[in-house]
Amino acid sequence: MRIELHSHTLLSDGELIPIELARRAVVKGHKALAITDHASLSNLDRLLTEAKRDVPLAKEWGLELLVGVEITHVPAKKLDMVVKEAKKRGAQVIVVHGETVSEPVEPGTNHAAVSNPDVDILAHPGFISLEDVEIAKRNDVALEITSRRAHNQTNGHVARLAQQVGARMVVNTDTHAPNDLIDIDMALSVALAAGLSQAEADRAVGQTPLRILKRARSR
């Protein structure tokens, strides 16, 4: 069963309301789905409050719907404060929008994210440094291997450094549109294409998402 921990709805820049995205995830064989819309101080309360309303509806289909955030384009020096606020307001999964090569993310964002143990996932980290990968390992921040076009250009770089130091990796889609969701076979293909071994791919698609899911349940 698939666990997807990075997705967007029309509460930010996605195309579907949370319950429709949930339904499509069920059809794709998902066990759990985290709604992680783009967030900062301006919209934290709205995102978490509104997405949470569909949680009991998704449960009717056997889907565990998690309410989280992707903290996006926040000044690196203020990231810890926004992470703290997101956790305080009930975010179960905390993703940080990393220094992807396709957007003008402030340098230093990767470092701030992996330095905070309350961050679950650093999304599409771009050309992340070896030092920051080592910090991610120490703080148990998972590095994303993504299926999303443009962001996935640096999957190989992220994978090589993560393999070098033993940092955790997680395969996500960064879903924005209905066809972005993928099944478990495609998720494994994304991992293998990034250069992971079969065992590493199994961990990135199975054990690591499950580990994050268990932590989310305790929040």
| pLDDT tens digit sequence for 3-30 | 999 999 999 999 999 999 999 999 999 9
Identity (one letter) of the amino acid at 17?
I
Q: Identify the pLDDT of residue 76.
A: 98
Residue 36's CB: how many other CB atoms inside 10 A?
34
Classify each residue of 81-104 as buried b or exposed e, where b means 16 or more C-beta atoms within 10 Å of its C-beta.
ebbebbeeeebbbbbbbbbbeeee
Answer for the pair 98, 128: CB distance below 8 angstroms, yes or no.
Answer: yes
Those residues of the chain that have pLDDT short of 50 are none
Identity (one letter) of the amino acid at 156?
G
Cα–Cα distance for residue pair 199/81, rounded to 1 Å: 36
Answer for the pair 96, 113: CB distance below 8 angstroms, yes or no.
Answer: yes
Identity (one letter) of the amino acid at 138?
R
Which residues, 6+ apart, have CB-to-CB distance to 123 below 8 Å? 6, 70, 95, 96, 97, 98, 100, 144, 146, 151, 172, 174
Q: Identify the pLDDT of residue 162.
A: 98
Chain position carrying tokens 């569909």: 54
Class of domain 2-217: alpha beta
Residues 98/119/211/2 CA torsion (nearest 10 deg) = -40
Answer for the pair 136, 114: CB distance below 8 angstroms, yes or no.
Answer: yes
Cα–Cα distance for residue pair 197/193, rounded to 1 Å: 10
pTM of the model: 0.98
Cα–Cα distance for residue pair 110/79, rounded to 1 Å: 10
Residue whose C-alpha is closest to residue 37's, from 28, 29, 46: 46
Q: Identify the pLDDT of residue 108.
A: 98
Q: Identify the pLDDT of residue 103.
A: 97
Identity (one letter) of the amino acid at 173?
T
